[in-house]
Structure 1
Amino acid sequence: MSKSKNEELKAMFNMMNKLHHGFLARMKVGNMAKVVKYNKNTHTADIQPLAKSSDGQTPAQLLDVPVSENCYIIDEILDRLKPELSKVDSHIGSSIVAKFPKKHLMRPGVPVAYVTLDRDTDNWERGRKANIYMPNTSRLHDINDSVIIGVFGGDAKDG
């Protein structure tokens, strides 16, 4: 094979690698973020993605991201039990409530994992409804269709 043909093939290979990387860089799947604000009434959070882009830019915050139930349900259960168990503690001299985590698991400042869903979620009825819906647009793998699926770093003592 001639040197020029070899250089041509190498250049094509490099171009295909860059094109492949470009496609992958634009596809959103899952990532880490920090909770900036959490709304416990709507179970949504404003989050700051932690990974910088390949050019070193800090990504924009994602606003009103739905939070999966597993991220907050223990917090809500303990909040509901606390008043009754406080009465038990004072009545029998126990310290059950003192063993609760000091902070909620889902709160501003904690690291979370979020995934970007494949389709537009504008017409999705959030919550427990599992209704089939028609996507509002042909939008695919858009970061605005992300949901929080997990909280990291907590424990049963400190939350």
Structure 2
Amino acid sequence: MKTDPAGTMSAILSGYQNKIFSDLHVGFLCKVISYDSGKCTADVQPLIKTTADAPAMIQGAQVLAHRFIVNGGEPQVYKPDLKQGDIVFVVCADREIKNALNGSVATASTDRQHDVNDAVVMGVLGCSLSN
């Protein structure tokens, strides 16, 4: 039996492409496991499996807060009130964020991209607000 080299190459490239895309994290749903309102960080559990195993929990993800001017008054800071079990939307930064969290332009310590270690909780999905 002859092997089709083009078919074999196609299968190899397809497998490689699937591996690359499964390692690329952009945005996904998570469940809040715990929330530290003082640090504005959360431990979250991704809810979508991309392999046979359950995805690993993400610890210490930054949580987005807001500063608003309401009715022309002084700016007010609003931190989220995340509850255990809330469903949140999480994005992963293009590059490592650790060195830039102090507000200075910084070089990343690693060359990681779209990594769960650079996850940011964007907000709670409406389905969690009714619970």
TM range (shorter): 0.7 to 0.9
- Match of residue 150 from structure 1: 123
2:58 aligns with 62
Secondary structure class of the residue paired with 1:51: coil
1:88 aligned residue: none
CA–CA separation in structure 2 for the residues paired with 1:51 and 1:154: 17
Q: CA deviation at 1:59?
A: 1.5
| Number of matched pairs | 119
After TM superposition, the score normalised by the length of structure 2 is: 0.78
Residues 61-70 or 29-38, more deviating: 61-70
Which structure carries more strand by proportion?
Answer: 2
Which residues in structure 2 correspond to 1:97-116 (within 5 Å)?
A: 106-116=82-92
| 1:132-151 Cα shifts (integer Å, max 9, x gaps) | 22212222222111111121
More helix by share: 1
What secondary structure is seen at the aligned counterpart in 2 of 1:137? coil
- 1:40 aligns to 2:13 (yes or no): no
TM-score, structure 1 normalization: 0.66
Rounded to whole Å, the distance in 2 between the matches of 1:146 and 1:133 is: 18
- CA offset digits 1:35-73 (Å, max 9, x no partner): 000111111000011112322x11221111100115xxx
**Aligned runs of 1:66-85 on 2, under 5 Å?**
66-69=62-65
Distance 2:91 2:26 in 1: 6
Matched, 1:50 2:23: no
Contact 1:105 1:154 in 2 (8 A): no
Find the residue that maps to 2:22 and give its secondary structure: helix
Question: Superposition pairs for residues 118-157 of structure 1, below 5 Å?
Answer: 118-125=94-101, 129=103, 131-152=104-125, 153-155=127-129
Percent of residue pairs bearing the same amino acid type: 26
Structure 1 unmatched runs, 5+:
71-75, 78-103
Answering whether residue 16 of structure 2 is matched by residue 14 of structure 1, we say: no
Q: Which runs of 4+ in 1 moved over 6 A?
A: none
Instruction: Give yes or no for contact 1:35–1:107 (8 Å, CA) kept in 2.
Output: yes
Which structure has the larger Rg? 1
* Residue segments in structure 2 that go unaligned for 5+ positions in a row: 67-76
CA distance in 2, matches of 1:109, 1:31: 15
